[in-house]
Amino acid sequence: MLTSRCIVGITALYLRRQIKLQNRMSTFTRPVAAVCQVTATPDKQANFSACKKLVEEAKTQGASMVFLPEGFDYIGSSREETLSLSESLKGDIISQYTQLARKLEVWLSLGGFHERGPDWESDRRIYNSHIIINDKGDIVSVYRKSHLFDVELPEKGVSLKESAFTIPGPSLVPPVQTPVGKVGLGICYDLRFPELSLALQRTGAEILTYPSAFTVATGAAHWEVLLRARAIETQCFVLAAAQVGQHHEKRSSYGHALAVDPWGEVLGDCGGEKPGMVLVEVDLEKVKSTRRNMPVQQHRRDTKFYQSLEES
């Protein structure tokens, strides 16, 4: 089973739930989210087949919403290949996922789709888009990545310039009401900007999600600590689907798809080797009690207070 090889560091009761698959639908008392880990390649159809199996498995085990990572559709081996494989929201890939969601009656978070931009015919530029599909197969929200990964770390072998072919998104989108809670949308590098997570929290988010394809070097250094920090400062659940392993000869990803609770505790970690998923019961009472017992947002000063240094 895919789930059994990526669930670590959680309670014995939770592990027993993973083993008793025949009673899966009856063991969970709260909504269940499946946070997935995949190894995408330039082969779009093979990627869809792999993701489809994860979604089907998640549904079988009681998940009402499944989270897939950035680049779930593909990860190209060059700028030219990345652009040539891109599609619109009305293309074949998203159509396959809307049909899958409708057939299985499950919500999907598609964490980073290569969407052709509004002036595709003239400029050949794309968005990195996070798409939420409901259990009827409708697209209910699209967030386009606002912070682009333009980073040169020669000592760590990291050199990526996302802005060379990607358009930054124009705005944040409101959190989406889903069966597991109100979900605020980010993508990968957005994780490094707490202003984004706080804006989503202020507008009602109970869950933050950062589908990602972190490099091995930056993932090892920062992935878990950043996810836990975002959970702690917003007092939200944080669900982060991830790419893992070797995509092609030029690129590999860190993995460790993670689920974190509002106290900053890691509920599940898919590890850094293989595709799989972790199942998480989303107890929204934990959000309420954490915020009630430590009312950080009530203690926050007004915006002018934090801008006072800049004004002086």
Q: Are strands 237-240 and 266-269 parallel, antiparallel or unpaired?
A: unpaired
What separation in angstroms does the CA of 300 have from each of 41, 109, 188, 303, 307? 44, 31, 27, 9, 13
Indicate if 70 belongs to the active site: yes
Amino acid in the structure at residue 290: T
Please say if the pLDDT value at position 39 is more than 90: yes
Summarised one tens digit per residue, pLDDT across range 93-128 is 999 999 999 999 999 999 999 999 999 999 999 999
Which candidate in 70, 87, 206, 281 is catalytic?
70
Cα 232 to Cα 226: distance, rounded to the nearest angstrom? 10
- Are the CB atoms for 201 and 300 separated by under 8 Å? no
What separation in angstroms does the CA of 14 have from each of 9, 17, 28? 10, 5, 10
Summarised one tens digit per residue, pLDDT across range 282-309 is 999 999 999 999 999 999 999 899 989 9
What's the gap between Cα 172 and its chain centre?
Answer: 15
Indicate if 52 belongs to the active site: no
Cβ neighbours of 90 (radius 10 Å): 8
Summarised one tens digit per residue, pLDDT across range 58-95 is 999 999 999 999 999 999 999 999 999 999 999 999 99
Please say if the pLDDT value at position 218 is more than 90: yes
Summarised one tens digit per residue, pLDDT across range 223-270 is 999 999 999 999 999 999 999 999 998 899 999 999 999 999 999 999
Instruction: State the pTM of this model.
Output: 0.90
Which candidate in 36, 51, 188, 270 is catalytic?
188
List of domains in the chain: 3-311 (3.60.110.10)
Please say if the pLDDT value at position 9 is more than 70: no
Indicate if 59 belongs to the active site: no
Which candidate in 59, 145, 182, 286 is catalytic?
145
Kindly give, in sequence order, each residue whose CB lies less than 8 Å from that of residue 12, ignoring residues fewer than 6 positions away: none
Element (H, E) at 48: helix 44-60
pLDDT above 90 covers a percentage of the chain that reads 81
